[in-house]
Structure 1
Amino acid sequence: MAKRAAPSGKAPASGKSRRNPAWQPGELPTREAILEAIAQFPEIDSKREIARHFGIKGDDRVALKMLLRDMENEGLLARKRKAIRATSELPAVTVLDIPADADPENLHAFPAKWDEEEGEKPRVVVTIGKDARVVPAPGDRILARIQRGEGLAPTYTARPMKVLDKPRKADIGIVRMDNEGARLVPIERKAREMRIPAGDLGGAKDGDLVEVEVAVSGRLMIPRAKVVSVVGNPQSEGAVSLIALHSLDIPYRFPASVIAEADAAEEATLKGREDWRDIPLITIDPHDAKDHDDAVHAEPDTDPGNPGGHILHVGIADVAHYVRAGSALDREAYLRGNSVYFPDRVVPMLPERISNDLCSLREGENRAAMALRIVIDAEGNKKRHSFHRVTMRSAARLSYQQAQAAIDGEPDDKTGPLLEPILKPLWAAYASLAKARDRRGPLALDLPERRIRLDETGMVTDVYVPERLDAHKLIEEIMILSNVCAAETLEKHRTGLLYRVHDAPSREKVTSLGEFLKSLDLPVPRSESLRPKDFNQILFRAEKAGKSEQVNEMVLRSQAQAEYAPGNYGHYGLNLDRYAHFTSPIRRYADLIVHRSLIKVLGLGDDGLTEAEESRLATVGQHISATERRAMAAERETADRLLAQFLANHIGARFTGKIAGVVGAGLFVRLDETGADGFVPASSLGTDYFRYFEDQQALIGERTGERFRIGDRVEVRLLEAAPMAGALRFEVLSEGERIKPPGPGRTQRGKRAPFKGKRPRR
């Protein structure tokens, strides 16, 4: 090893190296000597300087060049043009990205941020101890503690500390051409437009969605955008959802390996399965459904000991047969976590060959299924159940409207022959299940779900609220009962499973709700621990008082978010002690895990849950809970963009709506007709100062006492629409309720609005 450098810090001009007197001019230095020289003498930053430092001349320079190239390939040196320097080391704690295609049994990762000038990203081996609390999986981003291996080449191992949410992709927008060239219209609501220099368009055309790099130039530090990649054109492709897919980093193209594996899959045979093809199970789905992952059947129980009872048969697509743990299909399904549904497209969790073909319970075709036989009594109480792995054949594919019409006395050619033998027994069983549901008392929020209808060009033609039919409730109750059966069976066998859990509201949220109810002169619950039936009583009283809109909104806000976890704390909203998703494995990875668990504990095949999967259930639950939230955000953002695009041609128009949210900066108003949300700045509410009162969820004028509160009905005018950002800006035309002014001296947890404005009265 070379000796310490001379105190001067200057490299010798020629001859023997001053750092190593034993070094003879012309000798090829070792890797260690080169790295030490670069570290000690910053001016040694090129092949010429290295050769000069070590006295390498003539033909020996070729050997030095080859040595330096080897060191670069080994990750010891980094090169930018002619400059050479030692690569940087990873910090002791760093953020790593695990590739989606990493081997779950032998995970590796790369730094989430890495300067390309440092050379190739170092590959980090992820080590997971037997009792590790954090167990990441392919596709995860983690915070990890780094340990560097011995030797010259920087080898690293990482011990995970936490699984992180991946950030949104930044700096994307729509290219717009104008007389001055091109500009970038950002999709983020608060971001500003930027110019794109002519040479930095990267082939992008007007209307293209692009990813850009942002740099500032000139004395005024004006930001300018450079197109890095063209994602697509939402207008020409008729897919506004493309923006959300890219900004939220949702995979929507299947890798070739996944497609190949799906295409190679062969239809399951009867081997190792019970034959349920004579049981006339039927599917009841939306009229435009492309995949059918659940089928149902009911018949009266002939057991004299169960008068008025029924036997239910439920068939669920056997996805586990086709998607094996550790396969390319499995890794991609885990990465996606769930299917994502947009008005203009569906991004499925599994390729079409699996989701719409082999696993879709098509009418008249043999299909592999995980099946369930449930016996209920006349009051809807479950007496017993059993799981089976079967081959079934759907007797009919019906839509909700079709099945409901038949029960209501208007059968068609298809449902007529099914009415007596199939549909009426199903409705009789549902009547019993409805009794059990009413006794259980799940949370009964009135939350109408609006749907957007598009034309062939992807433009909004209609916004509607689908009618809630008994046919919907029938399928919902049978699926809830099936999910309970899955959780009970796995609990009984003391095996790992992913529960669908929903926590009770926090004490703080219950207190805030109580303060709000008090402001409405409604009874305030005495207990800080409310049960679902207590919330239902609150909702009932609010409806009688004509204040259901305000209270529904606040009760919804008080609720926790449901998630997946291996630890059970019940499902508060459904008022169930145990619950696990089992009925939709085509579109939810959680259900696939539950299927594998059932296969394992019931001895139904060799494709059950592996030990490695069971050890990672906590991390799997965290990941798929995050992908579910990501999907919800993408669906919401896309709806906002479509509605903003639809309303962009109605600037100046008046609309009615309700205040859906209140913050210090203003009001969020939801329009009645379309459900579109827009913002009203507090500064535009009039000549008064408006302050935010959290206990009332209201903005109140200091001088006039004019109050705008969540749930209030208002008339607004549309002032501005930003379709790509999904943003609308309104002004309120109607008067707020007048109460006693709070005055500038009263706080009441209120915040003073920062700006004073004026609103015309109409």
Structure 2
Amino acid sequence: MPKKTTTGLPTRKQILDFIATSDQPAGKREIARAFALHGHDKIALKALLKDMADEGLIDSAPGRAFHKMGGVPKVTVLRVASIDDGEVWAIPEQWHAETPAPKIRVLERGRRSALALNDRILARTEERGRGHVAHVMKKLQRSADLVLGVVRLEGERHFLTPVDKRERREFAISDLGDAQPGDLVLAEPSGRPPRVTARVDAVLGDPFAPRSFSMIAIHKHGLRDTFGDETIAEAKRVAGLPLGEEREDLTHLPIVAIDPEDARDHDDAIWARARDDGDGWDAIVAIADVSFYVRPGSSLDKEARARGNSVYFPDRVVPMLPHELSSDICSLKEGQPRAALACHLHVGKDGALNSWRFARAKICVSANIAYENAQAAMDGTAGLVDPHLVESALKPLWDCWRALLAAREKREPLELDLPERRVVLDEKGRIMSVAPRERLDAHRLVEDYMIAANVAAAKALERKKAPVMYRVHEAPSREKLVALKDYLATFDLEFALGQVIRPATFNRIIARVGPDHDGRAEIMEQLLRTQMQARYSPETLGHFGLSLGAYAHFTSPIRRYADLLVHRALVSAYQLGEGGLPAEDATRFEEIGVHISMLERRAMEAERETVDRYVAAFLADRVGQILNCRITGVQPFGFFATVLDLGGDGLVPAAILGNEYFRYDEKAQTLVGEVSGETYRMGQKLELKLAEANPASGALRFELPEGKFAGPDRQRRDRVRTAPRRGRPGNIRHQGRRR
């Protein structure tokens, strides 16, 4: 038991320690008794416990015992998540911790599969080894997770086709409600495999209508796409806050914001000029001062932390902050006075950051310029940017950037040229085009100024001995490097495992391959897969990809909660006024980092899936046509291919490849015909016939063009085995592939 106190309220840590070590359920009454609280202290304790629940430190179930978030209560409600070979696995129905909900094995006292998928149970849990097991106390009324799918009519029966392309099953619909064939619906599955049916719970409309694809992702991933009345009211109130006279006045400087033409918000602006002493440049990276408007513990702050980041779709944005802030008062718009947190930099002639300081400032952006227009102006095209701004703003920015670029090239960060797809819609949300985004010097310029400010923020906080939420990107693991060595050997490329691995190590591989190598795109993707996933953490682990020792995210507080935390830390460290970092948040950076990293991965998956759906919709009219494709993945059961310059993965089953057995080589990532030697490998370009494009799931299906099949014996083709067979040396079983 923790030591009890008899004077005043216990601290949050003391309460958490008491809950964790108590040998009985710890409710408000037990906590008050343990710490000898009376009268007004009990009222204050109630408020403190509510704050702790809002902050995610403890659960918030009224009238029940509290438990630390991240722990499993001794008695709790579980939901059956999977049934594998008779083993039942469940997850807590309510889980507000900033870590993934644990999977708990349910012990059924000898009964086999008495529970069904999505059943709810009241269970007693106990720790076993590194996990938990659950003993069923009683079965509760079912409240299943809803499945997002499209209603399909076959004969006289209706079926639900899930929009998740990883879900291979369809569900027979037991209750159609008001849904019609073709409707996008939320449905409740019930029953035990293989007899799982679905009841339509809500009709969402036409899945192929403009702007429906992002709604599919929003529902599937549980994104918070609406704000509560309290949060909106707070946003409107704080949007009217006066900027104050104590801010550094930078409104006289020709600061410009260079962004995508279709940018939904503008949270950064830049300025530079040559120093009078000839020692390089003075530069300013001015970032929207979100910490001034979003104060710790406020409704806005709690909602922003719960979202973690904004999510960007081709047709809409699901913002981290309400419109009143994200696209209005915090957005750096031309001619509008705005609150900013300014990073002042002294950039040396060699591009090194010689010094920096941070200040709260007032700015007035001279122009919002699209990347393409800024680039064209610097290339000599007149009329797109005010000539005065070209001279006073753009040219000095470019001069300073060339020094930053030289410093970047000297440290040799990872240079993977993997184009980003851009979906262009018309005013009604219809698809006009899908194409790779062009990479311009203007993009690199803004990126390098942002990197410089991010480095300065991390180093400034380190020197102040203040907490830092680093953007961490660790060096690849040995396991990944061994796999890369085996893979590169199939291209006769040597890769020594004993060397010190730096980003330049991978750049040299790209250089050896050269721009005209048939496998260049494939090798680039394999190098990307070799990298570790970036994340947020208070640990000083460096950023491998950028070849930087200290790196934080400072430049996008409108859309990333990590940046808002860095802003608050700077406000506190430099004593810049209100809105600084609370001491308690500083002690929770590790768990907050895990939480926002998870939310970032969710957002990336939702964005990627939505683009895939748009691509599938764009290709729907081209079903039956021959398309230029590239193989992006090889498995024993076939290979995946993507349409060149568009993206969107589709499967080519091994069973349609020919009249022979195709052997799978895991190291080489190939399928090789035993008789013909015909080979399908990662990165290979080939023509394929588009057999199906499903916009609801984003899935494509390809076939070989007519005449490509090796023989007319279709019955024999259908009997071709693609899994490894007994007695065949060299057949390699599929071990799975990350990504």
Q: TM-score, normalised by structure 2?
A: 0.77
In the alignment, which residue of structure 1 is the partner of 2:176?
201
Sort the Cα spacing of 1:99 and 1:205 in 2 relative to 1 into closer, same or farther, 3 A: farther
Sort the Cα spacing of 1:388 and 1:216 in 2 relative to 1 into closer, same or farther, 3 A: closer
Separation of aligned partners in 2, 1:158 and 1:592: 39
The answer to whether the aligner puts 1:482 opposite 2:453 as a matched pair is: yes
In the alignment, which residue of structure 1 is the partner of 2:253?
279
In the alignment, which residue of structure 1 is the partner of 2:18?
none
Sort the Cα spacing of 1:528 and 1:685 in 2 relative to 1 into closer, same or farther, 3 A: farther
In the alignment, which residue of structure 2 is the partner of 1:246?
219
The answer to whether the aligner puts 1:451 opposite 2:427 as a matched pair is: no
- Secondary structure of the 1:108 match is coil
Counterparts of residues 203-602 of structure 1 (less than 5 Å): 203-205=178-180, 207-216=182-191, 223-231=196-204, 233-236=206-209, 238-265=211-238, 266-304=240-278, 306=279, 309-412=280-383, 414-527=385-498, 529-543=500-514, 546=517, 547-602=519-574
Separation of aligned partners in 2, 1:552 and 1:244: 28
Separation of aligned partners in 2, 1:746 and 1:382: 61
Report if aligned partners of 2:264, 2:327 keep a CA contact under 8 Å in 1.
Answer: yes
Deviations 1:655-714 (Å, cap 9, x if unpaired)? 111111112222110111422211111222212212221211111223332221111111
Separation of aligned partners in 2, 1:224 and 1:99: 40
Separation of aligned partners in 1, 2:145 and 2:588: 27
Sort the Cα spacing of 1:752 and 1:490 in 2 relative to 1 into closer, same or farther, 3 A: closer
In the alignment, which residue of structure 2 is the partner of 1:52?
none
In the alignment, which residue of structure 2 is the partner of 1:751?
733
- Secondary structure of the 2:212 match is coil
How far apart are residue 736 of structure 1 and its match? 12
The answer to whether the aligner puts 1:184 opposite 2:135 as a matched pair is: no
How far apart are residue 201 of structure 1 and its match? 3.5
Amino acid in structure 2 at the alignment position of 1:365: Q
How far apart are residue 178 of structure 1 and its match? 7.5
Report if aligned partners of 2:377, 2:384 keep a CA contact under 8 Å in 1.
Answer: no
- Secondary structure of the 2:514 match is helix
Report if aligned partners of 1:363, 1:395 keep a CA contact under 8 Å in 2.
Answer: yes
Counterparts of residues 615-694 of structure 1 (less than 5 Å): 615-694=587-666
Report if aligned partners of 1:184, 1:195 keep a CA contact under 8 Å in 2.
Answer: yes
Counterparts of residues 90-105 of structure 1 (less than 5 Å): 102-104=53-55
- Secondary structure of the 2:393 match is helix
How far apart are residue 193 of structure 1 and its match? 3.4
Separation of aligned partners in 1, 2:484 and 2:100: 37
Counterparts of residues 4-23 of structure 1 (less than 5 Å): none
Deviations 1:378-437 (Å, cap 9, x if unpaired)? 111111111111111111111111111111111216421211111111110011111001
Report if aligned partners of 1:261, 1:328 keep a CA contact under 8 Å in 2.
Answer: yes
- Secondary structure of the 2:66 match is strand
Amino acid in structure 2 at the alignment position of 1:419: V
Deviates more, 1:678-687 or 1:349-358: 678-687
In the alignment, which residue of structure 1 is the partner of 2:58?
107
Deviations 1:335-391 (Å, cap 9, x if unpaired)? 111111111211111111001111011111111000011011111111111111111
Sort the Cα spacing of 1:302 and 1:736 in 2 relative to 1 into closer, same or farther, 3 A: farther
Sort the Cα spacing of 1:385 and 1:509 in 2 relative to 1 into closer, same or farther, 3 A: same
Separation of aligned partners in 2, 1:456 and 1:610: 44
Amino acid in structure 2 at the alignment position of 1:107: I
- CA RMSD after TM alignment: 3.3
**Count of equivalent residues:** 616
Report if aligned partners of 1:648, 1:722 keep a CA contact under 8 Å in 2.
Answer: yes
In the alignment, which residue of structure 2 is the partner of 1:126?
67
In the alignment, which residue of structure 2 is the partner of 1:149?
none
Amino acid in structure 2 at the alignment position of 1:646: F
How far apart are residue 182 of structure 1 and its match? 4.5
- Secondary structure of the 2:688 match is strand
Separation of aligned partners in 1, 2:176 and 2:661: 47
In the alignment, which residue of structure 1 is the partner of 2:151?
175
In the alignment, which residue of structure 2 is the partner of 1:34?
none
Separation of aligned partners in 2, 1:570 and 1:347: 30
Amino acid in structure 1 at the alignment position of 2:586: E
Q: TM-score, normalised by structure 1?
A: 0.75
Deviates more, 1:552-561 or 1:742-751: 742-751
Report if aligned partners of 1:125, 1:157 keep a CA contact under 8 Å in 2.
Answer: no
Amino acid in structure 1 at the alignment position of 2:163: I
Amino acid in structure 1 at the alignment position of 2:54: D
Report if aligned partners of 1:443, 1:532 keep a CA contact under 8 Å in 2.
Answer: yes
Separation of aligned partners in 1, 2:417 and 2:209: 38
How far apart are residue 543 of structure 1 and its match? 1.4
Larger CA Rg, structure 1 vs 2: 1
Sort the Cα spacing of 1:617 and 1:188 in 2 relative to 1 into closer, same or farther, 3 A: same
Separation of aligned partners in 1, 2:617 and 2:225: 23
- Secondary structure of the 1:240 match is helix
Separation of aligned partners in 2, 1:665 and 1:253: 42
Amino acid in structure 1 at the alignment position of 2:608: R
- Secondary structure of the 2:544 match is coil
Amino acid in structure 2 at the alignment position of 1:253: T
Report if aligned partners of 1:694, 1:749 keep a CA contact under 8 Å in 2.
Answer: no
Sort the Cα spacing of 1:318 and 1:267 in 2 relative to 1 into closer, same or farther, 3 A: same
How far apart are residue 288 of structure 1 and its match? 1.9
Counterparts of residues 129-144 of structure 1 (less than 5 Å): 142=101
Separation of aligned partners in 2, 1:242 and 1:253: 12
Separation of aligned partners in 2, 1:290 and 1:162: 44
Sort the Cα spacing of 1:232 and 1:483 in 2 relative to 1 into closer, same or farther, 3 A: farther
In the alignment, which residue of structure 1 is the partner of 2:16?
none
In the alignment, which residue of structure 1 is the partner of 2:692?
720
Separation of aligned partners in 2, 1:101 and 1:671: 50
How far apart are residue 298 of structure 1 and its match? 0.4
How far apart are residue 636 of structure 1 and its match? 1.2
Report if aligned partners of 1:403, 1:415 keep a CA contact under 8 Å in 2.
Answer: no
Deviations 1:10-69 (Å, cap 9, x if unpaired)? xxxxxxxxxxxxxxxxxxxxxxxxxxxxxxxxxxxxxxxxxxxxxxxxxxxxxxxxxxxx
How far apart are residue 453 of structure 1 and its match? 1.5
Sort the Cα spacing of 1:100 and 1:407 in 2 relative to 1 into closer, same or farther, 3 A: farther
Deviations 1:128-174 (Å, cap 9, x if unpaired)? 89xxxxxx9777665599xxxxxxxx9x9999x999xxxx9552212
Amino acid in structure 1 at the alignment position of 2:381: E
- Which runs of 5 or more structure 2 residues have no equivalent in the other structure? 1-48, 71-94, 105-121, 133-143, 711-723
Deviates more, 1:226-235 or 1:358-367: 226-235
Sort the Cα spacing of 1:206 and 1:109 in 2 relative to 1 into closer, same or farther, 3 A: farther
Amino acid in structure 2 at the alignment position of 1:273: R
Separation of aligned partners in 1, 2:98 and 2:181: 34
Sort the Cα spacing of 1:328 and 1:138 in 2 relative to 1 into closer, same or farther, 3 A: farther
Separation of aligned partners in 1, 2:236 and 2:255: 28
Report if aligned partners of 2:69, 2:96 keep a CA contact under 8 Å in 1.
Answer: no
Separation of aligned partners in 1, 2:394 and 2:212: 39
Separation of aligned partners in 1, 2:276 and 2:734: 70
